[in-house]
Amino acid sequence: MNRILKEVLEHAESWPLEDQQELAEYAREIEARRTGVYTMSDDERAAVANGLAEADRGEFVSDEIIAEADKRHKG
């Protein structure tokens, strides 16, 4: 490991957990760009599982809400 990376990681050990998680997210994005493979965080994995469970239960956003969102984004 090069000196710069080693120093950053040593400092990061004293950072608040939220900042450490942010650094880990940046590292995942860099790794994904380099390898073409993105590894989800635990929070992302839980959000996907929750969304799939909602879909399995038939819980979808109404067509009216989607139409309203489309109007706002089209200008």
The pLDDT tens digits of the residues spanning 1-38 come to 799 999 999 999 999 999 999 999 899 899 999 999 88
Model pLDDT, residue 75: 62
pLDDT-based confidence at 40, cuts 50/70/90? confident
3-state per-residue secondary structure call for the chain: CCHHHHHHHHHHCCCCHHHHHHHHHHHHHHHHHHHCCCCCCHHHHHHHHHHHHHHHCCCCCCHHHHHHHHHHHCC
Model pLDDT, residue 22: 94
Model pLDDT, residue 72: 83
Model pLDDT, residue 57: 95
- Span 55-72, mean pLDDT? 90
